[in-house]
Amino acid sequence: MSFVVVVTQIVFALSLCSFGGEMQQNDDYYAINLVDNLLRQSGDFNVSATEKQLNRLGDRVSIALLKILDEKALSDPRKLRRILPLIRGAFVRPEIVPIREDRKPKITLFLLRHLGKVSDPAIQEQIIQTTQFVKDQTAK
């Protein structure tokens, strides 16, 4: 089964879940607009309000990335250099992520395993470091 088919099935299954009734009442539950805007920004995204929103995403950041990006983008080193800091930012303080289920990096670790197949050694090292960071942050 191809990666795209598996991801599509996972995203579909997640879209059916309400995460224990804590579902937000807006049209952008997965923060697709926020993540898309962060991907488009040049340079650092440490604007306080944006950073606070990112820090509250947790696993939803990876769901948004999978909805926004196609297979080609997920193997593009330039895109990966933008994606990895977003993932880190989403797990800086998992205890402030409002939806408890998003504090667990299930989709994020799945995505990072897939991204680890890229051939660029520098990106591979960044992926390893990001994976370890997410595991460390969520093990607390």
Q: Which stretch of 11-15, 48-52, 54-58, 134-138 has the lowest confidence by average pLDDT?
A: 11-15
Which residue type sits at 121? P
pLDDT tens per residue across span 38-60: 888 865 555 667 888 999 999 99
**Residue bearing the bigger pLDDT, 53 or 29:** 53
Identify the pLDDT of residue 24. Answer: 44
CA 95, CA 118: separation in Å to the nearest integer? 31
From 122, 121, 38, select the one nearest 87 (Cα to Cα): 38
Are 100 and 91 spatial neighbours (Cβ–Cβ below 8 Å)? no
Task: Answer whether residue 139 shows pLDDT above 90.
Answer: yes
